Amino acid sequence: MSMRVAVLTSGGDAPAMNAAIRAITRVGIHRNCEVFGVFGGLQGILDEQIHELNSRSVSRILHRGGTFLTTGRSEEFRTEEGQKKAAKILTDRGFDALIAIGGDGTMHALDALSKHWNGFLIGLPGTIDNDLYGTDYTIGFDTAVNNALGALDKIRDTAEAFQRIFLVEVMGRHAGFIAFHVGVATGASAILMPETETTIDQLVEKVKKARAKAKTSVLVVVAEGDELGNADTIGKKLNERIGEKCRVSVLGYIQRGGNPTHFDRILATRLGAYAIECLLGGESGGMVGEVGGKLIMTPFKETWTNKKPIDQWMLGLLDELSG
Ligand code: F6P
């Protein structure tokens, strides 16, 4: 079977999206598919920014962050009219399949499109937040964690030099996976994230405990979406309660860029190639992912109705680990 396949990236970019596009394009072409890139995310379908790719179109992108197809968040595609219009364009242009790489917004969009278009639809998990059920890790998460880790190691140096308390805010509007991994890997005294409720009293307690143990520096990692507020707000509250000025550092978008790690490149390559194999095997309607080393496909809806849990065992070890 040969297919005419469109590929796009949507929502927040994530390092190694390019590696996934490259794998989809090259494996697709090798297996007799015609592969087209949609530029500008889902809006690119509506604006017909769709161009054929060949093997050379995806040269020199494997090692680069961002996405060479560019991305976006489309208001028009959120409407039923927008979805119907996209379905018509895909049909009129003779497409058999669409592969979209993105986060939960992208999986919602593919699910919505499936109500209006009977072509094959496959999603790839591409978000630094790692908040999709159906894959142990999302494309870009490992790079983002390593980016944040590098920054936190540097902050630790200056924190130790002055024996200071630092609150470091990492990305994660609705999910604390980055905060959790970075916090554990840098030996944070506390990790604040949306999945776990921590009161200001509990935080004060943790910081005081760390001080009582004569720790030279105290790091608190805060996910931007924590229920107590952002790092700045929490820092001020902590300041008032312990009478010591807490330094705040917001890492921001630096986490989302840069050369993808080996882990992300391999994951993206495997998932891209697997998406083509699924399509050619007649599968549709789900997101490909890797769980326990196995490549699987999960129906779109389950990727957001089921929640991927934070490792409770590791979480329970935090107090012991932070000494
Ligand atoms: O890509 C996911 C994410 O990094 C979230 O953690 C963050 O809240 C959001 O994107 C911010 O991105 P933007 O400014 O592009 O909406």
Q: What are phi and psi for residue 229, nearest 5 degrees?
A: 120, -170
Q: How far is the CA of 12 from the centre of ligand 1 (A)?
A: 6
Q: How far is the CA of 256 from the centre of ligand 1 (A)?
A: 9
What's the pLDDT score for residue 222? Answer: 98
Please indicate whether residue 210 or residue 257 has the higher confidence score (pLDDT).
257
Q: How far is the CA of 302 from the centre of ligand 1 (A)?
A: 22
DSSP string, 104-161: HHHHHHHHHHTTT--SEEEEEEB-TT---TT-SS-BTHHHHHHHHHHHHHHHHHHHHH
What's the pLDDT score for residue 236? Answer: 96
Average pLDDT over residues 188-206: 95
* Digit-coded pLDDT (tens) for 48-97: 999 999 999 999 999 999 999 999 999 999 999 999 999 999 999 999 99
Q: Which residue's alpha carbon is nearest to atom 6 within ligand 1?
A: 172
What radius of gyration, in Å, describes the C-alpha atoms of the chain? 22
- Is the pLDDT at 323 greater than 80? The verdict is no
The preferred substitution site among 106, 127, 173 for testing ligand 1, maximizing ligand atoms within 8 Å of CB, is: 173
The preferred substitution site among 169, 171, 254 for testing ligand 1, maximizing ligand atoms within 8 Å of CB, is: 171
Q: Copy the structure tokens of residue 157.
A: 């140096």
* Chain center to CA of 220: 22
Q: Which residue's alpha carbon is nearest to atom 8 within ligand 1?
A: 173
* Chain center to CA of 32: 31
Average pLDDT over residues 114-135: 98
Q: What percent of the chain has pLDDT over 90?
A: 94
Q: Copy the structure tokens of residue 46.
A: 């509506």
Q: Are 19 and 265 in contact (CB under 8 A)?
A: yes
Q: How far is the CA of 173 from the centre of ligand 1 (A)?
A: 7
Q: Which residue's alpha carbon is nearest to atom 14 within ligand 1?
A: 12
Q: Are 7 and 37 in contact (CB under 8 A)?
A: yes
Average pLDDT over residues 132-139: 98
Pairing of strands 97-102, 4-9: parallel
Q: How far is the CA of 277 from the centre of ligand 1 (A)?
A: 30
Q: How far is the CA of 100 from the centre of ligand 1 (A)?
A: 18
Q: Which residue's alpha carbon is nearest to atom 16 within ligand 1?
A: 12
> Using a 6 Å CB cutoff, which residues line ligand 1?
12, 127-129, 171-173, 224, 256
pLDDT band at 322 (very low <50, low <70, confident <90, very high): confident
pTM (2 decimals)? 0.97
pLDDT band at 211 (very low <50, low <70, confident <90, very high): confident
* Chain center to CA of 163: 33
The preferred substitution site among 10, 13, 129 for testing ligand 1, maximizing ligand atoms within 8 Å of CB, is: 129
Which residues does the annotation mark as catalytic?
129
- Is the pLDDT at 197 greater than 80? The verdict is yes
Q: Are 156 and 320 in contact (CB under 8 A)?
A: no
What's the pLDDT score for residue 318? Answer: 85
- E strand residue ranges, 176-263: 190-192, 218-223, 247-250
- Other Cβ atoms less than 10 A from the Cβ of 129: the count is 24
Q: Which residue's alpha carbon is nearest to atom 12 within ligand 1?
A: 12
What's the pLDDT score for residue 218? Answer: 93
What's the pLDDT score for residue 319? Answer: 81
Q: What are phi and psi for residue 158, nearest 5 degrees?
A: -75, -35
